[in-house]
Copies of this chain bind each other. A is one copy, B any other.
Amino acid sequence: MILIGERINGMFTNVKEAIADRNKQVIQELAQKQTEAGASYLDVNVGTAASDQESAIQWLVETIQETCSTPLSLDSQKPAVIAAGLKAVNIENGVILNSTPLNKKSDEEVFDKYLEMAQQAGPKGSIIALTMDKNGVPQDIDTRVSIAAEIVSKATEKGFDTQRIFIDPIILPVKVPNAQVQPGNILSAIDQIKYLSDPAPHMTIGLSNLSQGATERSIINRIFLAMAISRGLDSAIVDVLDRDLMNAVATAEMLMNKQIYSDSFLKVYS
Contacts and interface: CB of A to CB of B under 8 A. Distances in A.
- Interface of chain A: mostly helix, strand, loop or mixed: helix
A66 interface: no
Interface string A173-185: 0110000110110
A254 interface: yes
Contact size class for A? Answer: 20 to 34
Contacts of A231: 230
A102 B233 CA distance: 35
A261 B260 CA distance: 36
A49 interface: no
A201 to B, nearest CB: 21
Nearest to A183: B255
A257 B181 contact: yes
A239 B174 CA distance: 28
Interface string A213-229: 01110011001101101
Interface in A214-270: 214-216, 219-220, 223-224, 226-227, 229-231, 247-248, 251-252, 254-257, 260-261, 263-266
A226 B227 CA distance: 6
A187 interface: yes
A191 to B, nearest CB: 9
A251 B183 contact: no
22 contacts: A174-B255, A180-B257, A180-B260, A181-B257, A183-B255, A184-B230, A184-B256, A187-B230, A214-B261, A215-B263, A215-B264, A216-B265, A216-B266, A219-B248, A219-B251, A220-B251, A220-B255, A223-B226, A223-B251, A223-B252, A227-B227, A230-B231
